[in-house]
């Protein structure tokens, strides 16, 4: 199902950035819009492997694959902590949850991040050499998204508390340094900072959007999360407080929630690991109940989740689709080095292969067009951040081509002269 929806999914927001970086990796560099990439390389590298095997459309299938693999890891964890029956139903619930279904079909690094994070915890639990090498998926998770540091804090605490031998500690430290140093060196060479991130500027605004996070994002999280599951998770945390995965799941719930509240741009997909943790805790609380009662509870939740998940995925996945048509048209009809101005500049850049900038303030847009030698203007109905002036400032610019369907439009115009 994920792969079906992904095959029709429009490329949104940062997805265009990740796909462009993946494509540049196939050409032997790590660049976006003729500038060095400014996001961790884990997801673009993984996506580049898919694009190398499946072609340009390979970017669509990275998230679905790791969404499926993450569900398998969740099944393994719950089957070990509870039983296979509860594990199957819990996996089913996560797989049909609205936010998970959407993320699983979009070009975002979240499913890869979840897969690597759970892999690190599972390897740590296996002990011996597996525990030693658990730092590999942990480091890869950090190189996918720096927010992995929050997800891995419980694992770090457990590791320090276990007092590993100096030999194991030094070996793990060397592994981490070996894996992360190439990225640190590249980041320092190109950006002057060891861990570059295109959203680093938001650090100065931490705590500046708490009201929106509580009123909108956290409220939606609880709306999409079936109430019986959350109640059962509380019971699981209280009645199994000495169980390792109960402790972990509580921390993996509370830490991402706090981080999301403090982050200036909170979003539901950052709380996926919190949702997963709630399911683990809930499974611990129902392990002694009868199968019929468990099935009734979980199936009621699944019915509501399935309906909202399918509707949310369906309504969102066919947005931005015309940008692909417009970008391919530009790639095939306008040859040579041209510069484009568009609010959906990441997606347009990927599909067109042209240098693309986003709209500046209205007061300097005309000067900006001359300075950047812009020759094409693209106006679309998808981007919510499009400045209002765009819809009237370029009214008399000559049309080149227009793409339109019942969900939106993309208009390509030429800059006069």
- Secondary structure of 25-74 as H, E, C letters: HHCCCCEECCEECCCCCHHHHHHHHHHHHHCHHHHHHHHHHHHHHHHHHH
pLDDT score, position 281: 92
What mean pLDDT do residues 100-129 have?
Answer: 92
Condensed to tens digits (0 to 9), the pLDDT of residues 36-86 reads 999 999 999 999 999 999 888 888 889 999 999 999 999 999 999 888 888
Q: Determine the Cα–Cα distance for residues 226 and 220; give it in Å rounded to an integer.
A: 11
Nearest Cα to Cα of residue 301 among 129, 94, 70, 10 = 94
Residue 308 in this model has a pLDDT that exceeds 70: no
pLDDT at 312 over 60: no
**Helix, strand, or coil (residue 411):** strand
Check residues 138 and 207 and name the one with the higher pLDDT.
138
- Return phi, psi of residue 159, to 5°: -65, -45
Q: Which of 274-283, 289-298, 326-335, 406-415 has the lowest mean pLDDT?
A: 289-298
Q: How many CA atoms lie within 13 A of 210 on its CB side?
A: 6
**Cβ proximity of 371 and 385 under 8 Å:** no
Residue 185 reports pLDDT greater than 90: yes
Q: pLDDT-based confidence at 319, cuts 50/70/90?
A: low
Binned at pLDDT 50, 70 and 90, residue 95 comes out as confident
Unique residue bearing structure tokens 């964890």:
77
* Rounded Cα–Cα distance for residues 190 and 192 (Å): 6
Task: Over range 89-110, report the average pLDDT.
Answer: 87
| pLDDT > 70 fraction of the chain, expressed in percent and rounded | 93
pLDDT of residue 227: 72
pLDDT at 229: 82
* pLDDT tier, 385 (very low <50, low <70, confident <90, very high otherwise): confident
pLDDT tens for 364-374 read 999 999 999 99
Where b means 16+ CB within 10 Å and e means fewer, 243-267 reads eebbbbbbbbbebbbebbbebbebe
Per the model's pLDDT, the better-predicted residue between 242 and 117 turns out to be: 117
- What CA–CA distance (Å, rounded) separates 388 from 390? 5
16-43 residue pLDDT tens: 899 999 999 999 999 998 889 999 999 9
Quote the mean pLDDT of the chain: 87
* pLDDT for 96 beyond 90: no
- CA 33 to the chain's CA centroid: 21
Highest mean pLDDT among 113-122, 208-217, 222-231: 113-122
The two tokens of residue 314 are: 């369906």
| Spatial contact of 141 and 120, defined as CB atoms under 8 Å apart | yes
Using pLDDT thresholds of 50, 70 and 90, give the confidence band for residue 269: confident
- Residues 6 or more apart whose CB falls under 8 angstroms from that of 282 comprise 90, 229, 230, 232, 233, 235, 236
Supply the pLDDT for residue 354.
Answer: 92
Q: Is the pLDDT of residue 346 over 80?
A: yes
Residue 314 has pLDDT above 50, yes or no: no
pLDDT of residue 99: 84
What whole-number distance in Å separates Cα of residue 351 and Cα of residue 359?
19
Give the model's pLDDT for residue 120: 96
Distance, CA of 12 to CA of 346 (rounded, Å): 8
What's the confidence (pLDDT) of residue 8? Answer: 66
**Residue 381: CB partners within 8 Å, gap ≥ 6?**
408, 409, 410
| Residues 379-395, mean pLDDT to the nearest whole number | 88
């Amino acid at each position: 199902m994920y792969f079906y929806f992904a095959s029709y999914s429009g490329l949104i927001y940062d997805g265009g950035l990740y796909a462009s970086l993946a494509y540049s990796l196939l050409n032997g560099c790590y660049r976006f819009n003729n500038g060095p990439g400014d996001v961790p390389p884990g997801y673009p590298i993984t996506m580049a492997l898919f694009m190398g095997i499946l072609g340009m459309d390979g970017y669509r299938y990275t998230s679905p694959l790791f969404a499926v693999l993450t569900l398998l890891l969740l099944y393994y964890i719950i089957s070990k902590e509870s039983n296979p029956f509860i594990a199957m139903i819990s996996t089913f619930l996560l797989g049909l949850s609205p936010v998970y279904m959407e993320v699983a079909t979009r070009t975002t690094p979240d499913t890869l991040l979840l897969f690597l994070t759970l892999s690190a915890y599972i390897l740590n639990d296996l002990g011996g050499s597996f525990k030693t090498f658990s730092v590999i998926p942990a480091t890869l998770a950090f190189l996918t998204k720096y927010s992995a540091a929050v997800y891995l804090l419980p694992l770090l605490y457990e590791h320090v508390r276990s007092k590993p031998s100096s030999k194991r500690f030094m070996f793990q430290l060397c592994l981490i340094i070996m894996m992360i140093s190439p990225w640190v060196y590249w980041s320092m060479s190109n950006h002057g900072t060891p861990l570059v991130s295109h959203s680093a500027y938001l650090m100065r605004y931490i705590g500046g959007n708490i009201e929106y996070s509580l009123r909108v994002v956290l409220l939606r999280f609880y709306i999409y999360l079936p109430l019986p599951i959350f109640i059962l998770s509380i019971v699981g945390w209280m009645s199994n407080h000495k169980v390792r995965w109960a402790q972990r799941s509580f921390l993996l719930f509370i830490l991402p929630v706090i981080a999301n509240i403090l982050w200036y741009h909170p979003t539901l997909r950052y709380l996926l690991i919190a949702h997963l943790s709630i399911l683990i805790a809930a499974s611990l609380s129902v392990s002694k109940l009868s199968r019929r009662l468990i099935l009734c509870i979980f199936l009621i939740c699944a019915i509501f989740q399935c309906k909202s998940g399918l509707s949310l995925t369906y309504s969102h996945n066919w947005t931005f689709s015309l940008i692909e048509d417009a970008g391919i048209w530009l790639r095939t009809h306008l040859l040579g080095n041209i510069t484009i101005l568009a609010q959906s500049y990441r997606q347009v850049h990927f599909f067109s292969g042209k240098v693309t900038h986003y709209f500046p303030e209205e007061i300097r847009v005309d000067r900006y067009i001359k300075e950047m030698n812009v020759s094409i203007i693209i106006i679309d109905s998808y981007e919510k951040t499009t400045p209002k002036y765009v819809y009237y400032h370029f009214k008399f610019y000559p049309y080149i081509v227009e793409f339109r369907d019942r969900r939106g439009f993309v208009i390509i115009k030429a800059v006069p002269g």
